[in-house]
């Protein structure tokens, strides 16, 4: 036995042999750690509280591909539609704050704070704002036979015929619904809301002349406007849109009016400052990349990519702004 030990010792008498022996020893210790390291590289999920194919879903998928490359991680988009986006928001609010579960939300995140009398989460305290991805104004359109050609004429007609005109509403409590109620509140007119289960059937009935008016996303109606099938009366942004320079902003006839949908990325509350910074920087870099900017602009939206602090202040102000409109409208969740 003593001779065997001496032989082993003699075989490792050079520095090279000892280095090799140490490498084998430490590699053996590291083996159990490998599965744990692999687990930390699970895909990052972006939950979307809207169906696949909609604008919110498109924004999430556009961002995920480029943002994932920035982080060196796989990013997956998971649709959880329902309750005005609250199902997805609730899941993220209750998720572990490790950055593996994020939320692509939209204007309803602020509207729901007043629209729903009791939410299972706090729209501010239970989330970490990362960045606003984009904003998207809408267009007020009318069926071709309505005898108005601009906002001033519409307001005059609505005041002359209170309750005889109507708005198609693609979804109760949506930003487009609130855009219409904000218009009525600011102009002092009474126009009847006709709710639909989705934007597509609402647009079809305006095209058919069965409903008079509608606030619609640019992407949903721009082809109909260019074909002369719908009359565009005004855009909801503070200034005219570059894509429609001949369509005035509603604010030109109704000073102070402005309404835009927005899309933003959130994480759960209690994420570490370092993790928040890393995710926010990756998201902002993705938003400002040529590929993402081009796809956002093709949707008729404007890329933003602001800081977490700026986005947080914006969300706070949106909750206050929409509270007045929801209370005026007396809207109730579906």
pTM of the full structure: 0.78
Number of H helices, E strands in the chain: 13, 10
Q: Which domains does the chain have, with CATH numbers?
A: 42-136+261-329 (3.40.190.150), 137-252 (3.40.190.10)
Look up residue 287 and give its two tokens: 């938003």
Residues 222-273: pLDDT tens digits? 899 999 999 999 999 988 888 789 999 999 999 999 998 999 999 999 999 9
Tokens describing residue 55:
């604008």
- What whole-number percentage of the chain has pLDDT above 90? 67
Query: Structure tokens of 144?
Result: 């071709």
Give, in degrees to the nearest 5, the angle at Cα 85 between 198 and 177. Answer: 45
Q: State the pLDDT at residue 334.
A: 63
The predicted-structure confidence for 292-328, as pLDDT tens digits, reads as follows 999 888 877 889 999 999 999 999 999 998 998 898 8
Say if residues 45 and 101 touch (Cβ distance below 8 Å): yes
Cα atoms in the Cβ-side hemisphere of radius 13 Å centred on 74? 7
Grouped pLDDT means (10 residues each) for the chain, 334 residues: 46 47 44 38 92 85 93 95 92 97 95 92 97 94 96 98 95 88 95 89 94 91 93 93 89 93 96 97 96 86 95 96 87 70
Q: What is the pLDDT of residue 40?
A: 53
Is there a contact between 250 and 257 (Cβ–Cβ < 8 Å)? yes
* Listed residue (216, 155, 232, 166) closest to 188, CA to CA: 155
């Amino acid at each position: 036995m003593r001779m065997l030990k001496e032989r082993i010792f003699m075989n490792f008498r050079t520095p090279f042999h000892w280095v090799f022996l140490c490498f084998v020893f430490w590699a053996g210790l590291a083996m159990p750690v490998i599965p744990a390291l692999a687990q930390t590289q699970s895909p990052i999920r972006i939950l979307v509280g809207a169906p696949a194919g909609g604008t919110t879903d498109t924004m999430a998928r556009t961002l995920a591909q480029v943002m994932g490359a920035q982080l060196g991680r796989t990013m997956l988009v998971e649709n959880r539609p329902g309750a005005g986006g609250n199902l997805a928001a609730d899941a993220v609010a209750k998720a572990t704050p490790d950055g593996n579960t994020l939320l692509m939300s939209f204007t309803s995140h602020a509207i729901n704070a007043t629209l729903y009398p009791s939410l299972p989460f706090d729209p501010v305290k239970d989330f970490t704002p990362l960045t606003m991805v984009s904003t998207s104004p809408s267009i007020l359109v009318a069926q071709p036979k309505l005898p108005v050609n601009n906002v001033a004429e519409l307001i005059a007609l609505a005041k002359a015929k209170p309750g005889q005109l109507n708005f198609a509403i693609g979804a109760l409590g949506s930003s487009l619904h609130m855009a219409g109620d904000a218009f009525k509140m600011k102009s002092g007119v009474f126009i009847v809301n006709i709710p639909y289960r989705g934007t597509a059937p609402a647009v079809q009935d305006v095209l058919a002349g069965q409903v008079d008016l509608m606030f619609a996303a640019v992407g949903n109606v721009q082809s109909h406007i260019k074909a002369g099938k719908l009359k565009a009366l005004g855009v909801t942004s503070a200034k005219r849109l570059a894509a429609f320079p001949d369509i005035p902003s509603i604010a030109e006839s109704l000073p102070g009016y402005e309404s835009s949908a927005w899309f933003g990325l959130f994480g759960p509350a209690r994420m570490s400052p370092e993790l928040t910074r890393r995710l926010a920087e990756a998201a902002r870099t993705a938003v400002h990349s040529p590929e993402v900017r081009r796809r956002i602009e093709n949707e008729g939206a404007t890329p933003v990519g602001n800081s977490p602090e700026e986005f947080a202040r914006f969300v706070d102000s949106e909750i206050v702004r929409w509270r007045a409109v929801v209370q005026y409208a007396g809207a109730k969740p579906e």
